[in-house]
Amino acid sequence: MRSFLSVFILLAALVFPAQAAPVQLREAINELRKRGATQLEGVVLSGTPVIKGVMGEQGFNASMRQCDRPEFACRVLIFRACKKLADTSFENALRLANTYNTQTEPRGYMLVTAQGGGPSICIQARYDLNAGNVLDQVETFAWQQSIKSYLAFLEEEHRSSLTESILE
């Protein structure tokens, strides 16, 4: 009987995975701080908790979604970091984003926004906190690596375009 109960509990855990505890704004800020993020601020904008901060030398924001009220405990975090491309056309920015997104294993995904007179190119990543997944080192490290990959890609593209313009 005892072994049957153990097997039943194991099967139930596989069929009905535990829901992760949603994360509150303060908890998310503390986790990011532990992983090296600085200049962290948390606000609630139009009912959406948002974190702003710096990871490495890149500014970012994280919107928290699927939140339970009134405590704003959330199950989804959407991180975004952007760079303004002053000397790049919107079409070239789209080409860069498409090149990044079609890599074998891109970290996050790149998108283009039009802000104040020119394109900005952004990296975005979504982390769903469900089925036992919680906001911890795995997600914050993945976001940190996404930023590094994004910045390295943009730097390499910049070098390539400089080389092409010199050779022309």
Q: What is the pLDDT of residues 91-113, one digit of tens each?
A: 999 999 999 999 888 788 999 99
Query: Would you call 78 exposed, middle or buried from its count of C-beta atoms within 10 A (0-12, 13-18, 19+)?
Result: middle
Tell me the C-alpha distance between 154 and 123, whole Å. Answer: 11
Residue 6 included in any domain: no
Q: Is residue 11 one of the residues assigned to a domain?
A: no
Tell me the pTM: 0.80
Tens digit of each residue's pLDDT (9 = 90 or more) over 68-86: 888 889 999 999 999 998 7
Is there a cis peptide before residue 70, judged by omega within 30 degrees of 0? yes
Domain count, the chain: 1
Mean pLDDT is lowest, of 26-35, 38-47, 84-93, 130-139, for 130-139
**Is 9 a member of any domain?**
no
Q: Structural domain of residue 138, as residue ranges? A: 17-167
- Please tell me the predicted confidence (pLDDT) of residue 7: 38
The radius of gyration computed from the CA coordinates of the chain, to the nearest angstrom, equals 20
* Domain assignment of residue 3, yes or no: no
In a domain, 116, yes or no: yes
Q: Residue 136's domain is classified under what CATH number?
A: 3.30.1460
CA 131 to chain centre: 19
What does the longest C-alpha to C-alpha distance in the chain come to? Answer: 79
Residue 142 lies in a domain: yes
Of residues 125 and 72, the one with the higher pLDDT is 125
